[in-house]
Amino acid sequence: MNWSKQLCVKPGHAVRLTGYPTDWTGNFKDKDDARDALAGNIARMDQLQNLLYAQRKYALLIVLQGIDASGKDGTIRHVMTGLNPQSCVVSSFKEPTPAELAHDFLWRIHRVVPGLGEIGIFNRSHYEDVLVVRVHDLVSRDIWKQRYDQINAFENILTQNNTVILKFFLHTSRDTQRVRLQERLQDRTKVWKLSPADFAERKLWNDYRQAYEEALSRCSTPAAPWFVIPADHKWFRNWAVSQVIVETLEGLKMKFPKPTFDPAKIRIP
């Protein structure tokens, strides 16, 4: 099965997230059933990253979005664990700084787009400017409405210059979020990640769902597709993200560059 096609939001398709299950696990019965498949994908990603870095023809940009506790950090930790940090950079986007606010909303994003041969991972992204900005009325409706087309144009520029973009929406249920927030409250290794604002944001669940639905509907394009990843089960979330990455990189048909000299003529004293 082509999982990239299965999980992809079809361009021009109006997304209603109630129609996307959060607990689907594909062909797997449980975590143990998927263990070898995930390990195989992580090993394959290491090989493909090496090809990407050697060939330096493409860059890969991975965008991770989702509500609080949907698993953005966990995905980075468990899926990207085998990647070489020499050519992989994670960028997180929080509240804009004064310097960032002095520029257009895409300025801070473009500065950290990966170069050819590199992998860039965005923990949140430019989509915050049509999500949290919209939900909290930080700019007028007229402004954030324009940003869908601006985002599409920006991503189109990147793809025309050989940046491959994969955008993952980690789709969890409200019940799953409640359980995970409660677990964090009781875990001293995770409670530091919480703030009162996280619980206030939960009250805006429906507003965020509507904002995500429009972003997914307006900004899943042939050049830069969105993938809706069922994320109630962390192990399936991890496998699904890794599977789409592997399928995409394999589709590039990358090859190691030929040496600029004849190795057979080299004699090492």
Which pLDDT tens digit goes with each residue over 11-51?
A: 999 999 999 999 999 999 999 999 999 999 999 999 999 99
Indicate if the pLDDT at residue 177 is higher than 80.
yes
| CA-to-CA separations, 156 to 113, 224, 229, 238, 257, in angstroms, rounded | 13, 8, 23, 27, 27
Return left, alpha or beta for 63; rule: phi > 0 is left, psi -120 to 50 is alpha, else beta.
Answer: beta
pLDDT one-digit tens code per residue, 85-134: 999 999 999 999 999 999 999 999 999 999 999 999 999 999 999 999 99
pLDDT band at 193 (very low <50, low <70, confident <90, very high): confident
User: Which of 151-155, 177-181, 236-240, 261-265 is predicted with the least confidence, judged by mean pLDDT?
Assistant: 261-265
pTM to 2 decimal places: 0.96
Residue 168: which pLDDT band, with cuts at 50, 70 and 90?
very high
Query: Which of 166, 161, 219, 179 is CA-nearest to residue 68?
Result: 179
Query: Domains in the chain, start-ordered, CATH in brackets?
Result: 33-183+193-252 (3.40.50.300)
Is residue 23 within a helix (H) or strand (E), and if so which, with residue range? none
Work out the burial of residue 98: count CB atoms within 10 Å of its CB; fewer than 13 is exposed, 13-18 middle, 19 or more buried: exposed
- Distance CA(215)–CA(228), nearest Å, equals 12
Q: Do 17 and 171 touch, CB atoms closer than 8 A?
A: yes
The four Cα atoms 99, 108, 128, 97 give a dihedral, to 10 degrees, of -20
Mean residue pLDDT of the chain comes to 96
